[in-house]
Structure 1
Amino acid sequence: MNDSPGWATPGSPSDGEGSDGSRPPAQPADTSKWSASQPPPGQWSSPAAGQTPPPQQQGPGWGPYAPRPGQQPGHQPGGPYGGPYGHPGGAGGWGGPPPAAKPGVIPLRPLGLGEILDGAVSSLRGHWKTVLSVSLVAAVLVQLGLLGVQRLMRDRLVVSPEPTTPGELADTMGDTLIAGYANYYLQLLGLLLVTGLLAGVVSSAVLGRSTTVAAHLRGVRPLVPRMLGLVGLLLLGSLAAGLVPVLPGLLTGNGVLAVLGAPVGIVLLAWFFVTFVLALPALMMERGKVADALKRSAKLVKGSWWRIFGISALTWAITWITSMIIAVPFAAVAVLVSPGGLSDILDGTSAQSWTFLLITAIGGLISLTITVPMQTGVTSLLYIDQRIRREALDLELARAAGVHDQGDHGAVTQRPGGAGPASGG
């Protein structure tokens, strides 16, 4: 049997057989000759920026610069962000995209929940004079309206100590529902007004620009008639969505029927509110027409209804808890100074006391002044976020803020598969 050259042990005799035709005994391998003939062991090191490996290291296989299956020869890794090392001008591994530019309160890219909430709070903190001035005026108007409703309903909401008939109980339920709806829609009116007036403040905060109360009011003055018209339409639509299901019970005096229709009204009201929640920011930032703002809101919300609903509901829950924290101490003080004390609270006669109403109104005024700007800030940032996701508004915002696509400010990148720069209107 003949030996093949490739099967000889390194360091074994090359002739293979002795003079008598027999094979000599196997000798231990001479490892010194084997190790001396090999190249020195390689060491991994990351190439310096802009340096390419020598040609002999670019052969086939799975080396750092070897082409993968389906790639063309000479392809260099780095993904859609360019550069051989993962990001423009960078070195050292498969890095992700560079951080987004952040000229103001938010980074110019699609936003997460925490960034939206933080941006709303930062807008309030950075422009507190303008924000609190506007929200205070709106809160005063809302509280005056609530005070009037409470005084009008003072006799109807008193709980009688004597047993009541089913009809009287139904009437009480209906009156309570009316008072609740009046309270909600008055606060909604204030929320809509503040949203329209403060949308420009949030826009300035996103661009990192400061503003004064006088300058802001001069900027929104030409849009006030259109804003009031849109607020009126949104309020009428909300009234129709929320009241139509309970209207049969209210007209017939059947409180039970009205209460049964309330859940249907809540569902319709939620659909209407979320669908057109971005209309006021669209009107004030794009400076278009009322009808165009309604269409823009419906278009931007389409496909993201549940996300916007969830963020809006969470914001409402946060502001409600904050309102309770502020209002409860004032209510406690009102009970202490009320002539009848806790007994008047239980039977409802405290609503007839101006002392009780005024003290609780002060607590409500403070809570509305603080919490309403939080809700309006979230709504305006949701509008900006939806345009970034749908229309690459971040590119236009970067240009408006004087931030370039590359450099020390970070980078503004186009969404994968997204459109080009969005138009301003």
Structure 2
Amino acid sequence: MNDSPGWATPGSSPSDGERPGAPSDQPASGGPKWSAEQPPPGQWSSPASGPAPGPTPPPQAPPQQGQGWGGPHAGQYGSPYGGQYGHPGGPGQWGKPPAAKPGVIPLRPLDMGEILDGAVTTMRAHWRSVLPITLVVATVVQVMSVLLQKYVMSDLVLGTDPAANFEEAINTLGTAAAVSIGVAFIQALGGIVATAMLTMIFSRAVLGNSSTVSAAWREARPQLPRLIGLTLLMGLGFTLIVAVLIVPGLLTESPGLAILGIFAAFPLATWLWIKYSLASPALMLEKSTVLKSLGRSSKLVKGTWWRIFGITLLTGVITGIVAAIIVWPLTFLGIGLFGGGMGGLQAGTASTAWGALIFSAIGAIIAQTIVMPMQSGVTVLLYVDQRIRREGLDLELARAAGVENYGTTGG
């Protein structure tokens, strides 16, 4: 076995048929294997001359009031974590026993609060690595978006012009759609770079290790082309869903068919989105291909789709509220000061004024700097949580983090 974090798929790390984390004196086959060093003669006393060997604890007095079910020696026997189990609501209450926590999360199956807390904790503890990445990416994306909106959108017929013919209206809509696609492409490309680097930072934070921006870039760079391919493939899939289910109703000018297609496309796209939501961390951390990462995500999500959907949806709601609180006040302030206020909105010039664009971009930069690491962190920790639940990844992570005797005792 090596000391790598163990991100590889199951079966590639263990050697010699050993189970990850199994004690060295217990082979995987379950047969006996004696230690090379035996206790000296006379160490064990006879039953008549002393207490019998074994893990049986000495008799204890009944628990006193306020002492809990564990008593003074609770957690001394049996628990691999060394914790105590007290009465419900008291210290050491029934529930999850304490687990090793070398980094931002405990090495055991996580609940929703621990996943969200782990993402926020990583942002706070490793802000020197996280914030520069998201700040640079958000700034580049917004600068290019502002330039596109200023020099392309300002030439469009944004107001209501009775003299404009149908061809001009079509050209206007086509140009606006091209600008929107261009802005979305820039944002997607920046998001891919940020996601790749943040995945490496969060994976190290799980082990309690820090990472620099340059180290995260070196680790992420070899997989960037595949991550771009994965993003394009998923985007193509969603486009095909829309084309097959919604476009026929629009082309035939059938409102009923179009509405039916929308009701069919939305749940199908959502189901596929969650099904393959863990493909990105699987591709980056397992160094796999695009198709293998999609298969890994499908396998990890299987049976827990609703749980992952709920956590992802809650994360989206939280980050959306945070972004709105930051972006909208600055956007309205820019329109009010530099865009002509309500008159500019009615004339269609408010959205292309330099001051309004700059204020809106500043708000978007601040929001994306905060939101991007939150979203990426939740996705990475969901991936880690699913592998802990299904594949015992906590054993590999504990060994890589240097946690001694983890998983070698039964509880």
Tell me the residue number matched to 2:362. 362
Q: Does residue 1:121 correspond to 2:120, yes or no? A: yes
Tell me the residue number matched to 1:135. 134
Whether the aligned pair in 2 keeps the contact of 1:174 and 1:254 (CA below 8 Å) is: no
Question: Structure 2: how far apart are the matches of 1:215 and 1:196?
Answer: 12
1:260 Cα deviation (Å)? 7.5
Task: Write out aligned runs for 1:81-120 (5 A).
Answer: 87=79, 98-120=97-119
Whether the aligned pair in 2 keeps the contact of 1:171 and 1:253 (CA below 8 Å) is: no
Whether the aligned pair in 2 keeps the contact of 1:189 and 1:231 (CA below 8 Å) is: no
Tell me the residue number matched to 2:287. 287
Q: 1:329-376 deviations in whole A, cap 9, x for unaligned? A: 211321222252222124433123233222212211221121111000
1:86 Cα deviation (Å)? 6.2
Q: 1:251-310 deviations in whole A, cap 9, x for unaligned? A: 789999878755544333322221111111011111122221111011111111111111
1:229 Cα deviation (Å)? 2.5
After TM superposition, the structure 1 stretch with the greater mean CA deviation from structure 2, 359-368 or 383-392, is: 359-368
Tell me the residue number matched to 1:220. 220
Question: Structure 1: how far apart are the matches of 2:409 and 2:140?
Answer: 44
- Alpha-carbon RMSD across the aligned residues, in angstroms, is 4.4
Task: Write out aligned runs for 1:367-386 (5 A).
Answer: 367-386=367-386
Larger RCO, structure (CA 8 Å, separation 6 or more): 2
Tell me the residue number matched to 1:34. none
Task: Write the letter of the residue equivalent to 2:358.
Answer: L
Question: Structure 1: how far apart are the matches of 2:175 and 2:267?
Answer: 21
Q: 1:62-103 deviations in whole A, cap 9, x for unaligned? A: x99xxxxxxxxxxxxx9xxx9896646788978756411111
Compared with structure 1, are the counterparts of its residues 144 and 211 closer, same or farther at alpha carbon in structure 2 (3 Å cutoff)?
same
Compared with structure 1, are the counterparts of its residues 223 and 404 closer, same or farther at alpha carbon in structure 2 (3 Å cutoff)?
same
Question: Structure 2: how far apart are the matches of 1:364 and 1:182?
Answer: 17
Tell me the residue number matched to 2:393. 393
Question: Structure 2: how far apart are the matches of 1:298 and 1:146?
Answer: 34
Compared with structure 1, are the counterparts of its residues 193 and 265 closer, same or farther at alpha carbon in structure 2 (3 Å cutoff)?
farther
3-state SS of 1:343 partner? helix
Q: 1:96-150 deviations in whole A, cap 9, x for unaligned? A: 5641111111111111111000000111112212212222233234324543664
Q: Which runs of 5+ in 1 are unaligned?
A: 1-48, 55-62, 65-77, 417-425
Question: Structure 2: how far apart are the matches of 1:184 and 1:107?
Answer: 37
- TM norm structure 2: 0.68
Task: Write out aligned runs for 1:153-172 (5 A).
Answer: 153=153, 158-160=158-160
Compared with structure 1, are the counterparts of its residues 296 and 400 closer, same or farther at alpha carbon in structure 2 (3 Å cutoff)?
same
Whether the aligned pair in 1 keeps the contact of 2:192 and 2:227 (CA below 8 Å) is: no
Q: Which runs of 5+ in 2 are unaligned?
A: 1-54, 64-69
Question: Structure 1: how far apart are the matches of 2:356 and 2:333?
Answer: 9
Whether the aligned pair in 2 keeps the contact of 1:149 and 1:179 (CA below 8 Å) is: yes
Whether the aligned pair in 1 keeps the contact of 2:153 and 2:352 (CA below 8 Å) is: no
Tell me the residue number matched to 1:329. 329
Task: Write out aligned runs for 1:218-257 (5 A).
Answer: 218-242=218-242, 244-248=244-248
Identity of aligned residues (%): 46
1:315 Cα deviation (Å)? 0.5
Q: 1:40-60 deviations in whole A, cap 9, x for unaligned? A: xxxxxxxxx954459xxxxxx
Compared with structure 1, are the counterparts of its residues 93 and 201 closer, same or farther at alpha carbon in structure 2 (3 Å cutoff)?
closer
Compared with structure 1, are the counterparts of its residues 106 and 90 closer, same or farther at alpha carbon in structure 2 (3 Å cutoff)?
closer
Aligned length, in residue pairs: 341
Task: Write the letter of the residue equivalent to 1:119.
Answer: G
